[in-house]
Every structure is written in C-alpha cells, then in structure tokens.
Amino acid sequence: MSIDEFIDGVVEDNIPDEEVIAWLRNVYERGLSESETVILTESMRDSGEVLRWDESHNVVDKHSTGGVGDKVSIPLAPALAACGLKVPMISGRGLGHTGGTLDKLESIPGLRISLDAEEIIDQVNEIGLAMVGQTQGLVPADRRLYALRDVTGTVASLPLITSSIVSKKAAEGISSLVLDVKFGKAAFMKSRDSALELAKSMVSVSRGMGISTAAILSTMDRPIGYSIGNSLEVLEGVETLCGRGPADLEELVCVLGGILLKSSGLSHDLEEGASKIQDSLYDGTAFEKFLAMVGSQGGDTEIFENDSTLMRGLGILDGDLYSTTMESGESGWVSDIDAMSVAEACLEMGAGRKSLDDEIDRGVGVVLEVQVGDHLEKGDVWATIYHREGQVVEVVEMLKEAIIIADSEPAAESRISEVIW
C-alpha cells in the first residue's frame, strides 16, 4: 500500500486502528527517508481543503515549537501584515503549563477564533491577517494520526512530527514559512542537537513541497518576556505592538519577521527586514492591523483605548483575582529564572491544561519584575503572582527556587542561537 493510499484509508476510516497503530510504530522504529516524509506530508495536506490565493507569493506564516511566555505570534502576525504580507495564521490550543495562541486571544471579549476557509481568505485579503483555529476541513488525516500517536508513545518520531506540523502550515497555501525551534529545560526539545535535527527535517520537507522555509534555534531555559499566563501575555503582546515590549520578545518578533520579509522579496536581507518589522511596532501600523483583526473577528476593540480599559477588559482587574508579590531574599545579580518552575506554578493555578478537557483560567499567571542581568537588593520584588483565593501558599513555595541570584553580573546573551536558511 502506498503512502497516498494509506492516508486516504485513514481519512475514509477504511483502515482499522490496529493497522494504523502498526504503521505508526513501524515509522517510529525505522523512520522514513526525506522523500517519503515529503510524500506523507503532501498526502496529509491534501487529505482536506487547502486555502487558495489569487497571488500566493506573499502569503506567509510562522510556527513555534512552544515555550513559557511565548506570545510571539500576537505582535508578529500584525507586524507582517503592516509590512505588506498576508498572514493566515491558523493556531492551536495549549496542552501544558499555559494556553496556546488561541487560548490567549480568547481573553479578548467577543473575539471569534472559528472561521471557515472562505471567511479566512476574505479577511486576509481585506486586512492582511487572520488569527484563528484549525477548521474541520483542514488536514483531517492529522487529527486521527495524532490521536493514535498520543496513546501509543509514537509522538516523538521525527518524520511524524515533521509531517504533522508542515502539513497544517502547507494547507494554508503559504509561499514562505519561518520556524522557531526551541531547546532547553522548558522546551519540547531539551538539547540543541535534537532541536537542530528537527529544524533541518522541517526545513527540508517544507522546501521539498515548494515552500521557501527558514528556521531559528532559540533557547527556552527562562521565560520569554515578563508575563506568563493568558491575559497577561495578551497585555504584553499589545505593549510590544506599541513599541513598549521587552527586548527579548521584540528581538524574536523582528528576526522572525525579517526572515519572512527577506524570503518574500520585500527586503534585501535579514537586517533590513528586521528593521521594517521594528518600525511597524514603533510607528503604530502593526497595532492598527491588530485592531483591524480583532474588530473583523468580532472582538471588543474599545478595551484597547488605554492601559486601564485593557486590563479591565482582559479580566486582570477582576475583584476575585488577587495579587501577591515575591521578594528577593538576598542582594545580587539575577543569573537565571527557571522557566519550568514558573510554568508549573502557572499550571497549578489553572493557566494551562493537564488534559484536553480542562478549562483554562485566563486571568491567573505570573509577571516577572526582573530579567536575567538585572540587579536586586534584598527585599526587592522580583515577581507578582495573579491568583484566585486559596492558591497562593502552594504557588509561592513552587516559585521560591525559580530565581538564582549571583555575586557577579552575567554576560548578556541573545535567545537566538542560530538561523538556518
């Protein structure tokens, strides 16, 4: 049976679970060649509807393997649209310490994240972007395959990871793709070598399907930015759209966006592209695109009038949401903030999901008041916890060991380890 015939059988439900599981285990144990992975990915893409564009040369997207405080998509997609690209960003929900992009965006009152293919195309053609969930018609093969991978311990297969991610992006009809593959203590890929292997696999397969693709390797040992938690991350994403975001988040947005501008022919090199993205954050054009997207998808744009209305609209000022500060027990330089400790504390409060059926509490989370390289005096506040009644004692205990204070100032380091063209 060919790969095409197998995927047809998976979608039509003509192949029993036992045979699909046997095939998955065989791939997990023996792998697939690059050409076979391309065929598998193309078959998965073509198992459902594919978005079609009149002009596909400037339709782009980004994929991240996920991390703590990863709200990059929120400022990146509008910045790309402000620079003349079309961004049909189809995202997922989070299973783990905090929500995915969709969970974060649903903190915005009224925002509709379920659009059909025609609505996505119309909106992107009109305003330049859409940030929505996967439609039922896109890559149906992946839903069945992933469900069986999840229960058979075959999730970690490189060709299966590659085909799952790339097929969904390819179904958007994009011409260019950038990948943010993270490694570190709080990443899916713990080592740089494993992240590099995954990045090269996805870049090769995506290029094999005719999509201009590049990737960055970025570290995930400490949280991105200051905010971890759904509403809190939307707030920080909006601040970044207004030129007031944390430096590490802005760097990721500008480099990822710069890569896509270069690959789409809208800049001569990465530096020029990154500069154009940064300009859109500082001159208000990216924020204008974000507001247009929120309004088009039914969200309440009035909450973005000022900081107070935004915090109230996102539920951060709710009466049943309490805040507790964490103080430094010593003086010195912040040498590390453990992302996994912060993530587990947020999960304990309900910011994420332990199972797909769990409800997310979008208000809870942690805001760091410092980043690595900052100096603290004993008694200075280094974090604020946003929590519900009865949660704080356990969360404080979980966070006590998250921050490391050193006697000397640590060397400044970029999150971005490598760009793979």
Q: Is 2 a catalytic residue?
A: no
Distance (Å, whole) CA 260 – CA 246: 22
Choose the catalytic residue: 63, 71, 182, 276. 63
Structure tokens at 178: 């950038």
Closest CA to 362 of 344, 388, 336, 331: 388
Choose the catalytic residue: 45, 62, 86, 168. 168
Distance (Å, whole) CA 84 – CA 238: 20
Closest CA to 81 of 276, 317, 373, 345: 276
Helix (H, G, I), strand (E, B) or coil at 300: coil
Choose the catalytic residue: 73, 91, 107, 164. 164
Structure tokens at 387: 């929590």
Q: Is 168 a catalytic residue?
A: yes
Give the pairing of strands 332-337 and 212-219.
Answer: unpaired
Give the pairing of strands 322-327 and 381-387.
Answer: antiparallel
Choose the catalytic residue: 86, 97, 149, 362. 149
Q: Is 400 a catalytic residue?
A: no
Closest CA to 331 of 378, 372, 371: 378
Q: Is 244 a catalytic residue?
A: no
> What's at 329, amino acid-wise?
G
Are 174 and 130 within 8 A, CB to CB? no
CA 374 to chain centroid, in Å, comes to 26
Are 228 and 342 within 8 A, CB to CB? yes
Structure tokens at 194: 């494993």
Closest CA to 115 of 90, 98, 140, 94: 90
Q: Is 63 a catalytic residue?
A: yes
Closest CA to 61 of 92, 100, 87: 87
Active site residues: 63, 142, 149, 164, 168
